[in-house]
Chains A and B, each alone.
Chain A
Amino acid sequence: MPAVRFDGLTKIYGSGDTAVVGIQDAAMSVERGELVAIIGPSGSGKSTLLTTIGLVTEPTAGRIEIDGEAVYDGRWVGPDRKLIRRRKIGFIFQHHNLIPFLTVAENVQVALDINGVRGRAAAARIRDLLGYLQIDHRAASYPARISGGERQRVAIARALANDPLLILADEPTASLDTERGKSVMEHLRRLARERGSAVIVVTHDERMIAGFDRVGRVQDGRLLVSPAAAAA
């Protein structure tokens, strides 16, 4: 069963003469453990695709299934979208979006707390994730006191907190230098392989997609999917 599948996915902003096509008739199925890159020039619609799959932006038409369950079929259907986002989707942002007044450990804890995981179970999960991403020595530090690469690893740890089925990363390397960017991509590859999450990464930097299973290229709102080797 694919982690996420969408078909005929269309998002049009506005209407009439002022209508702007965000994405049009996009279709794709991403399996667990699969690593997919969405690339395209600025304004091509890749972020719209990401937010639509992430159940943040309401599509205009099409169908989305998460973990085999329809969430959108011409309209929102199925369980609460917040609940799905909380339990099945992990987000990684361009600027890490860590909460500045929470320590590294607390930034991971907040995602667990929202999902009702507290106490010893939460503490063990935080230790596990920070160790996995090699930032356990920064657990008590505030985001302002750690490096950009470390911040992005904390953001990955937060995205992984609830063991999500699907991870959506929006330009996760955009604010990092090449070396740190590669390191973050390596972490994403590892977690797809080792943790079995489906990972969709939106990026404009084609140098970063080495090792991805498939690449989706967005051009004027249309998505063309091909194996990574073909894209390269």
Chain B
Amino acid sequence: MNLAIRDIRYNLGRFLLTGLGLGLLIAVVMSMAGIYRGLVIEATTIFNAAGADLWVVQKDTRGPFAESSRIPEDLYRTLAVIPGVAAAAPVSYQNLQVEHAGRPLRLYVVGHRPGGLGGHGPLASGRPIGQKRYEAVADESAGLLIGESLELGRNRYTVVGLTRQMVSSGGDPALFVSLVDAQELQFKKSNEALRNDRERIEASLRDLTRRAPAVARQVTATVEAITQSTHIANAVLIRLEPGADPRDAAGRIEAWKHHTVLTAAEQEQILTRFVIEKARRQLGLFTAILLVISTVIVALIIYTLTIDKIREIATLKLIGAPGLVVVKLIMQQSLALGAIAFAVGGLLIHSLYDRFPRRVVLLPADHLALLAIVAGICVLASLLGIRRALAVDPIQALGG
């Protein structure tokens, strides 16, 4: 005879309410795990869509996601001819906040050569960028519509396609534009800055202007061209030929000692272990605290339920029930409470997860792991009640 189930059946409302309360807590734990998974996936979506085997970045940096990296755009031409390299393409990444439709809009602008590496992959709707300038592909989470016009910097861009769940590690929706547009957004100086630069150069060359005006004009023009150039990229992506050894190709590039080369695995590790490390640890700690709170709450509930049944437990012991009958009653109730809470939490989070501002990824493996943890918590939490129940003197069943 299963006493725990019969007690639950008799006190169903009370049990369900308790399970509901605990379920809310479990839902938060589930959401934490989902947010963590989402964080990892979001951090790697743009990286994965880029489809690169090697990432060439500024020397001694871990760019372009973890830190700033600037390299010449035309480097890709040199890299493309290295043995084992199938394709090379410059890319740029930039966070941007603009005003759109009267509200602030944060975007992660990805500049790439349309059709080349570093793009967006399959679209949810619309078409890829078809012209060299002023077209954009936005992520759905930006809230932009196909055909909508968006002002970025000095120019207006038309949204021609939409991606799904393509965001930065910070959760900002991606906006794919041509590399030229992205370079202009990132590196082109304002008119005021250009005038200031020009005056600074001319001031520096004042002596030369007096002594050799023609040379000074040529030098000024050259320096201006260099300082105003937007032909800069944040990284050059490389796809290797089938069978090519990434370490071998990376070694050849690094031998020039001008750049750092990261393999896809290294770049992924930087994204998942370093870029989101603090957020990951924060979520982990919060989840651990919630699990401890859940354990304490279950323990208190089970202890209270046990105290409520002291007379029944004493009666059972008096009529000769072995200790195991009492242990099973308490532990099974605790496990049942955990099961109810898990089901409530699961239902709740599965009906709400898509309303979170950032991606929440619910994996069956995580749910199974949490189920095992909840079961462990319930067993642990029931120990207090079991200890109390086993200490009950059967004589308590007698008297008034």
Contact = CB atoms under 8 A, between A and B. Distances in A.
Interface of A: 47, 50-51, 54, 56-57, 82-87, 89-91, 93-95, 97, 99-102, 106, 109-111, 113-115, 142, 158, 170, 174
Nearest to A110: B1
Main SS at interface, chain B = helix
Given A94-B399, A99-B316, 15 more contacts: A56-B394, A82-B322, A83-B320, A86-B321, A89-B320, A95-B400, A100-B312, A101-B3, A101-B10, A102-B10, A106-B6, A110-B1, A114-B316, A114-B319, A170-B399
B397 A93 contact: yes
B320 A47 contact: no
Contacts of A97: 311-312, 315, 397
B322 A113 contact: no
B6 A86 contact: no
Contacts of B9: 101
8 contacts: A51-B395, A56-B395, A89-B320, A91-B319, A97-B312, A110-B321, A114-B320, A170-B398
B78 interface: no
B319 A158 contact: yes
Nearest to A142: B10
A128 to B, nearest CB: 18
Contact of A85 (B1, B318, B395): B318
Contact of B1 (A82, A89, A91, A113): A113
B351 interface: no
B11 interface: yes
Contact of A110 (B3, B318, B398): B3
B11 A93 contact: no
Interface residues of B, number: 24
A93 B398 contact: yes
B366 interface: no
A114 B320 CA distance: 7
B7 interface: yes
A31 to B, nearest CB: 23
Contact of B398 (A47, A99, A109): A47
Contacts of A84: 320
A51 B6 contact: no
Interface of B: 1, 3, 6-7, 9-11, 311-312, 315-322, 325, 394-395, 397-400
A106 B1 contact: yes
B1 A109 contact: yes
A28 B235 CA distance: 100
A111 B400 CA distance: 22
Contacts of B10: 100-102, 142
Nearest to A115: B320
A109 B316 CA distance: 12
Nearest to A144: B10
Contacts of B397: 91, 93, 97
A142 B11 CA distance: 12
A86 B316 CA distance: 10
Nearest to B11: A101
Contact of A102 (B6, B317, B322): B6
A174 B400 contact: yes
Given A56-B395, A102-B6, A114-B325, A86 B400 contact: no
A174 B398 CA distance: 12
A83 B3 CA distance: 20
A111 B319 contact: yes
A99 B315 contact: yes
B352 to A, nearest CB: 34
Contacts of A102: 3, 6, 10
Which 6 pairs of residues, A with B, have the shortest CB-CB distance? A86-B320, A101-B10, A85-B320, A113-B1, A101-B7, A97-B315
Residue among A83, A93, A115 having the largest count of chain B Cβ atoms under 10 Å: A93
Contacts of A99: 3, 312, 315-316
